[in-house]
């Protein structure tokens, strides 16, 4: 995409106003492990076998939409028909969701630890007067458990929007990102940055008219825990990072980095582009 020039966009204030973060795989829960494992366990309750890779596929969507997407998978749907003698329907999506929720609530606090560098990055942004927003595919009930523990560790955005609390819906629509703009009083979506480790999260930011930064190594697309990463074959790590970079770039990310620890330099680069009159 060719950036806008000052002549094309008119006078434009060249500073970053707000950064809007995802949660799992972005600010907390290195590898986005909490939701992934619980999907596997929730489907097992209904006698369905899904892999961690399948569970990761729709990550970034609201959890009900995530379940809907998984049940639409040909192989998973075939298991459902074999077990229950009919295709799944909306009531079945509700049933899986209601089984998933208490399991997720019980486990999410175990995965609330900040991703290395997250606390320092938030501190650096605030020191520049940049507002801190956030949104998640997690429903509000799950976030209400996660947020207090994350805050104790230094992760406390100015705004938190949950995946189930907007009538218009969640990702890849722009609604949660735009709700942050309203809540934060950000002056212009073109001065906002969306940071996310999933394809729907990047699409959300693009649909909202924001700069978008994708995260690879810490997030869902690579999928390592920190302990797994420490013992992984470097060639496998590089291959996973390359695949994640390609997916997030194709989704529309303006920049792709390994983790939130690398974000301050990108915010500075975007600020410089804004100063030149460029827009997302």
Residue-wise pLDDT tens digits, 24-59: 999 999 988 888 888 898 999 999 999 888 988 887
pLDDT reported for residue 5: 38
Per-residue pLDDT at 3 exceeds 60: no
Q: For this structure, is 73 an active site residue?
A: no
pLDDT reported for residue 258: 97
pLDDT reported for residue 8: 42
Question: Which domains does the chain show, CATH number per domain?
Answer: 6-32+112-275 (3.40.50.1000), 34-110 (1.10.150.240)
- Quickly state the pLDDT bin for 246 (edges 50, 70, 90): very high
Q: CA–CA separation, 276 vs 280, rounded Å?
A: 12
pLDDT reported for residue 126: 96
Per-residue pLDDT at 275 exceeds 50: yes
Task: Give 108's contacts (C-beta < 8 A, 6+ positions apart).
Answer: 34, 138, 142, 145, 146
pLDDT reported for residue 11: 59
Q: 97 — phi, psi (to 5°)?
A: -60, -45
For helices 33-45 and 90-108, angle between their N-to-C axes, nearest 10 degrees: 130
* Of 35, 29, 60, the residue nearest 207 (C-alpha): 60
Average pLDDT over residues 243-257: 97
Q: CA–CA separation, 182 vs 63, rounded Å?
A: 24
What single DSSP character describes residue 61?
B
Active-site entry in 17, 22, 29, 197: 22
Q: For this structure, is 22 an active site residue?
A: yes
Per-residue pLDDT at 1 exceeds 80: no
pLDDT reported for residue 163: 86
Average pLDDT over residues 232-239: 95
- Quickly state the pLDDT bin for 128 (edges 50, 70, 90): very high
Least confident of 34-43, 144-153, 213-222: 34-43
- Quickly state the pLDDT bin for 116 (edges 50, 70, 90): very high
Average pLDDT over residues 189-203: 96
> Cβ distance 216 to 245 under 8 Å?
yes
Mean pLDDT score of the chain, rounded to an integer?
A: 91
Bond into 172 cis (ω within 30)? yes
- Quickly state the pLDDT bin for 143 (edges 50, 70, 90): very high
Please give the model's pTM, rounded to 2 decimal places. Answer: 0.85
Each residue's pLDDT tens digit, 61-98: 888 888 999 999 999 999 999 999 999 999 999 999 99
Active-site entry in 11, 17, 29, 63: 63
């Amino acid at each position: 995409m060719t950036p806008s020039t000052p002549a094309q966009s008119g006078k434009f204030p060249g500073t970053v106003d707000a950064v809007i973060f995802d949660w799992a795989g972005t600010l907390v829960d290195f590898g986005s492990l909490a939701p992934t494992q619980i999907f596997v366990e929730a489907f097992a309750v209904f006698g369905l076998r899904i892999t961690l890779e399948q569970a990761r596929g729709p990550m970034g969507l609201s959890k009900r939409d995530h379940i809907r997407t998984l049940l639409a998978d040909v192989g998973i749907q075939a298991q459902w028909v074999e077990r229950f003698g009919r295709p799944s329907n909306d009531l079945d999506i509700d049933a899986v969701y209601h089984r998933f929720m208490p399991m997720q609530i019980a486990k999410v606090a175990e995965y609330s630890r900040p991703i290395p560098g997250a606390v320092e990055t938030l501190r650096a942004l605030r020191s520049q007067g940049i507002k801190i927003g956030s949104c998640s595919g997690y429903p509000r009930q799950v976030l209400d458990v996660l947020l207090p523990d994350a805050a104790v560790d230094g992760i406390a955005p100015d705004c938190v929007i949950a995946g189930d609390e907007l009538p218009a819906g969640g990702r890849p629509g722009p609604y949660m990102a735009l709700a942050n703009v309203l809540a934060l009083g950000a002056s212009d979506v073109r001065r906002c940055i969306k940071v996310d480790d999933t394809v729907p999260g990047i699409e959300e930011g693009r649909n909202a008219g924001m700069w978008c930064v994708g995260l690879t190594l810490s997030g869902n697309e690579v999928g390592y825990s920190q302990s797994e990463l420490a013992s992984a074959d470097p060639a496998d790590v590089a291959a996973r990072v390359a695949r994640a970079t390609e997916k997030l770039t194709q989704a529309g990310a303006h920049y792709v980095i390994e983790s939130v620890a690398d974000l301050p330099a990108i915010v500075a680069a975007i600020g410089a582009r804004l100063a030149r009159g460029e827009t997302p």
